[in-house]
A and B are shown apart, each in its own frame.
Chain A
Amino acid sequence: MKGIIENFDLFAPKLVDKEEYYASGHRACQGCGEALAIRLMCKALGKDTVVTNATGCMEVTATPYPTTAWKLPWIHVAFPNSAAVGSGVESALKVLRRKGRIADRDIKVVSIGGDGASFDIGIQAISGAMERGHNMIYIVYDNEAYMNTGIQRSSATPFGASTTTQPAGKESVGNKTWKKNMAEIMVAHRVPYVATACHSYPFDFMNKVKKARKVNGPAFIHCLAVCPTGWRCPSDACIKMGRLAVETGIFPLYEVEDGKYKMTIEMPKKLRPMEDYLKPQGRFRHLKPDEIEIFRGMAMLEYNKVLERIKHSKSWSEMKS
């Protein structure tokens, strides 16, 4: 029971914005972590937001004509271009406001996409938009595979996960590589605010969204979103799996503000064993102890890299002189 209430402010949910910008009736699976994350994101953003969405679960389940679950202005164009569309919307709003054709009010552009749309096919658009310094947030909802099309692997799929294009079998352990470190790539783009988050830590996530919204420039949030359907775990385990991903060190929650790294939640002194995370998920069911050791090694490499950077990173403002 202790694991459930750690890092959690019990009575604070009452202080969250009561408005629902992602309405009921959407067709996401039971227990969808991504739908929950988007619902929380919208609460943190408020109504002066325009959302651009890549093709994926959230676009397909939320907007089958003639109904839409979205109560924010929203546009979907194609799979790889959420960030490019977002940069266009941001530029348009900027110039229309400057020319006096729309009200003189801050409207934030938030581009969202899944791990497929962001790490793989859409990485170019994100790189371009972040590099050009548009005043927008990019939030990737990482459920670690191309879930909408049937659980195919992406570059965010962890080692050993069985997906339909890299299935486990006699000659295969499943996915052969570790998750692409998109947050690092964004820090390398000199994005002023980069953070990792998870819906299982809702206030941490919402605070990061609020912080990203305040940046006058690009911001990037990598949000882990549990997919019970694709990860093959029970639908009620959605929140728990996210917590375990964090507590085992697989997905540490940190932020990089002006180049300075900081862990945003208190990590347990001793990380939980990987088996706690792997056993409840059907996609890892086939892993043998030596393969779990490889998994652990890869995860610990990334985790220790983050710890190193937290210890040694200096803010860019400091480093300019």
Chain B
Amino acid sequence: MSKRIGMEIAMAAAEAVALCRPDVIAAYPITPNTHIPEHLSEIVAEGRLDCEYLPVESEHSALSACTGASGAGARVFTATSSQGLLYMGEIVPIVPSMRLPVIMCLGNRAISGPINIWNDHSDVMAVRDMGWISMFASNGQETIDMVIQAFKIGEHADVMLPVFVNLDGFQLTHVVEAMIMPDQEEVDKFLPPRKPFAALHPDNVVSMGTLGLPDIYNEAKKAVDEAMINSKKVILEVWKEWEKMFGRKYEPIMGYKAKDADVLMMTMGSIGETAQAAVDELRKEGFKAGLLDLKLFRPFPVDDLKKAVKGVKSFIVIDRAVMHGGPVAPVCAEVKSILYDEPVRPVISNEIIGLGGRDVRVEDFMNMFKKAAKGKPERAYEIYGVRG
């Protein structure tokens, strides 16, 4: 029977991972996600989880060990942030190309420089196009749920892709919340042991990670691309099954007072919950604000976005990373690209907020809404609140 618990979200994520019975965990500590591998190693040390825990010597080796273990047919997990993700960045695109599922929790943290350990999305944005499925949790409950869902999605026979579960560093990882934690029996029912497509074993000899000459590379890439596109079907099925079993609903984009909004804003991750408070305040004043929470970032839910913004006059896309040299910030670039062919398009403004963990308050969101209501923005994108 699921039970209501109160604990730090990073630890809850670790508990959720343990419920999934991973076989191999290889992780390297980096603030702010350290509590996830730390708590997992505690769980293993207490004998609550039968698993090989590898205290590897670097993030690069962490993901390499996970890839090897996944190749051998094990269920694997790792966690990192920011610089750690960039250090394993060489291996990040290799994992989906080998169709090996690896589940990774990212405690989103700003990438250096300047060095900064606080929360923004620049780390996951740096690797967004490499072929990993990517989901964003907005609170502790979503973190637990998405971690368990991620194993089922990634290991699914029609998917076989690695999955990022993003949770905001410090804003979520170090925050204590009340959450409902499923029990082992429920998770075992939802998530059976992994059945790998192929595994490294002398009884069934296979060569993995082979050389892709120019005459086959295009086909290999297209195959992974199609797998990513088709994974959306599996993600929706898994979410439907989750709702049936646990009563909590997940959709790629979920609206908050969005149906009749004049000005709509889209966020990813926990900052959306602050934006919700702003929407409530504005609604009290008679301002028709609305919010979209983008939960599935990769594969990007193209049709869901088009549907969600239909009829809206003004659309604010919130980004939490800079795309240096680009026309707008990452998420907005994708939104504009999707809406380009639509016959009727909203006025789009792009606000980059909370870089490097800078606080964003309810009033800030209210200001952004009011500014957007005034008309077309002066510039294609703004770094909100920068002094000078």
Contact = CB atoms under 8 A, between A and B. Distances in A.
A233 interface: no
Interface stretch (A12-20, A85-93, A235-243, A308-316): A85-93
A93 B72 CA distance: 7
Contact of A128 (B57, B98, B208): B57
Contacts of A75: 68, 71, 200, 207-209
B210 to A, nearest CB: 4
Contacts of A93: 72, 201
Contacts of B64: 77-78, 81, 84-85, 88, 125
B201 A50 contact: yes
B200 A88 contact: no
A131 interface: yes
A229 interface: no
Given A92-B24, A94-B52, A49 B91 contact: no
B67 A92 contact: no
Interface in B31-88: 50-52, 54-58, 60-61, 64-74, 76
A73 B201 contact: yes
Interface string A37-80: 00000000001111010000001100111101011111111101
Interface residues of A, number: 48
A65 B208 contact: no
B73 A102 contact: yes
A73 B200 contact: yes
Contact of B72 (A77, A92, A98, A124): A92
B61 A68 contact: no
A77 B93 CA distance: 11
Given A78-B91, A81-B61, A132-B54, A87 B201 contact: no
Interface residues on B, range: 35 or more
Contacts of B104: none
A60 B211 contact: yes
A170 interface: no
B68 A77 contact: yes
A88 B57 contact: no
A76 to B, nearest CB: 4
Contacts of B76: 88, 92
B61 A84 contact: yes
A96 interface: yes
A319 B106 CA distance: 46
B61 A125 contact: yes
B94 A77 contact: yes
Given A59-B211, A65-B216, A73-B205, A92 B68 contact: yes
Contacts of B50: 95, 98-99
A94 B51 CA distance: 10
Contacts of B200: 50, 73-75, 89
Given A78-B90, A84-B68, A91 B54 contact: yes
Nearest to A85: B68
B205 A91 contact: no
A91 B220 CA distance: 29
Interface string B206-242: 1111111100100010000000000000000000000
Contacts of A72: 202, 205
B193 interface: yes
Contacts of B206: 73-74
A320 interface: no
A133 B158 CA distance: 37
B350 to A, nearest CB: 36
B61 A96 contact: no
Contacts of B213: 64-65
B91 to A, nearest CB: 6
Contact of B24 (A47, A76, A88): A88
A263 to B, nearest CB: 32
Interface of B: 23-24, 26, 50-52, 54-58, 60-61, 64-74, 76, 90-91, 94, 98, 193, 199-213, 216, 220
Interface of A: 47-50, 52, 59-60, 63-66, 68, 70-78, 80-81, 84-89, 91-96, 98-99, 101-103, 107, 124-125, 127-129, 131-132
